[in-house]
Each structure stands twice: as structure tokens, then as C-alpha cells.
Amino acid sequence: MREKIKLYERRLEEIKMVYNENDRLKTLINFRKTIPYSIVPSQVIGRDPTNWSNSVIIDKGMTSGIKQNKAVLSTEGLVGRVVEVGRYSSKILLITDPSSKVGVLVQRNRQGGILVGRPDGRCKMIYIALDSDVTPGDKIMTAGFGSVFPKDILVGKVVKVDKEPGRLYKYAIVKTSTDLSRLEEVLCIK
């Protein structure tokens, strides 16, 4: 009896894992239908083994149409951009990496700024005008400047606004809409 109970418990855990994966993939498929971009769904197969950069490796590359300097999304929002493309895999630089920079806007009032990564897993929106009305809870969207990040993709929410002494601008700490430490599937824009 005990052997059978253990066997059933293992099977139940396997079923839960399949159910969770199925739920994530359904969400991904439904999300694909709502966005106007041509995308390639990909699975995260690795993380940068060093802590020097916040990056992930995906299971798609040149053979799937992945191109360098294209945006990468999740169903919750912006994840990063493709920085290296191999034949069958690619490296994605996450928006939380200190070398990442994204032109962004506050959704509510269209106040612009630049989003830079931070080592603590959050981002910092810099170059916010001193007289601007940016408050915690404001949603941050991509500005769409340049050819990497399309306009109006959700990036995250403002959690804190402050001013550094001696600077002519304010800054905001932004919590990303996607938990980048738990990424399993992403969508790469072609």
C-alpha cells in the first residue's frame, strides 16, 4: 500500500507539472493572437553562469528567424533584447542588466525617460523632468524610439520617485512587470 501511495504521489506531481506547463502555453498562445507583431515563441534553456550580466539563453536561433537587436517579450511585458544569435540558440540581455537601456514613457502622462537596469533586479527610469508628475503605481511603457523596442509595450510599475542631490532630473525605481528570475517561455519579435 505504501509503495502504491508513493507511486500515486509521484504521478500527481507529474500531472501538476504538466498542468502548469499547459496553462502557461495556453496563455502564450492567447497572447500571440493579441499582438500585431510577427513573433517566435521560445523556451529559456539557460542562464548566464556568471553574475556579470542578466541574460538568458533561448532554444531558437537563426534557423527560426531570430535576429540580433530585436525585442523579447513575455505575456506580462518587455523582457529584453537579442544580443547574440547562434544557429539554434540565442542570448537575451534582460532589461535589468546594468548595460541595458530602453526609451520609455509614463503611460498616464507620456513623460519620457530612459530605463536602465540595476543589479538588484529592478530598473531605474532616469532623466525625468523635475516638474513632471510621476508617482508610484504609474505604468511604464516602451517609447518606440529606434528600431529595437516597439511602442507601448508594458515594462513595469513605478515603486519610488526621488531626486539625486545636485541633479537636474528626477528618477523612478521601476519593478518589472515580468518576474525575470522565473522566465520559462518568451516571445521574440521578428
Mean of pLDDT values over 83-110: 94
pLDDT higher than threshold 80 for residue 27: no
Express as a percent the part of the chain with pLDDT over 70. Answer: 94
Mean of pLDDT values over 86-108: 94
**Average model confidence (pLDDT) for the chain?**
89
pLDDT score recorded for residue 47: 86
Q: How far apart are CA 108 and CA 127, in angstroms?
A: 17
In the block, residue with C-alpha cell 517566435: 40
pLDDT higher than threshold 70 for residue 3: yes
In the block, residue with C-alpha cell 510577427: 38
Which residue would you say has higher pLDDT here, 122 or 138? 138
pLDDT score recorded for residue 65: 93
Largest Cα–Cα distance of the chain, in whole Å? 72
Q: How far apart are CA 11 and CA 131, in angstroms?
A: 59
Express as a percent the part of the chain with pLDDT over 90. Answer: 55
pLDDT score recorded for residue 32: 64
Q: How far apart are CA 51 and CA 34, in angstroms?
A: 35
pLDDT higher than threshold 90 for residue 167: no
Nearest C-alpha neighbor of 136 from the set 172, 103, 107, 169? 172
Does residue 121 come out as left (phi exceeding 0), alpha (psi in the -120 to 50 range) or beta?
left
CATH class of 101-176: mainly beta
pLDDT score recorded for residue 52: 58
Helix spans in 73-182 (H)? none
Task: List the grid coordinates of 77.
Answer: 511585458
Q: Are 115 and 140 in contact (CB under 8 A)?
A: yes
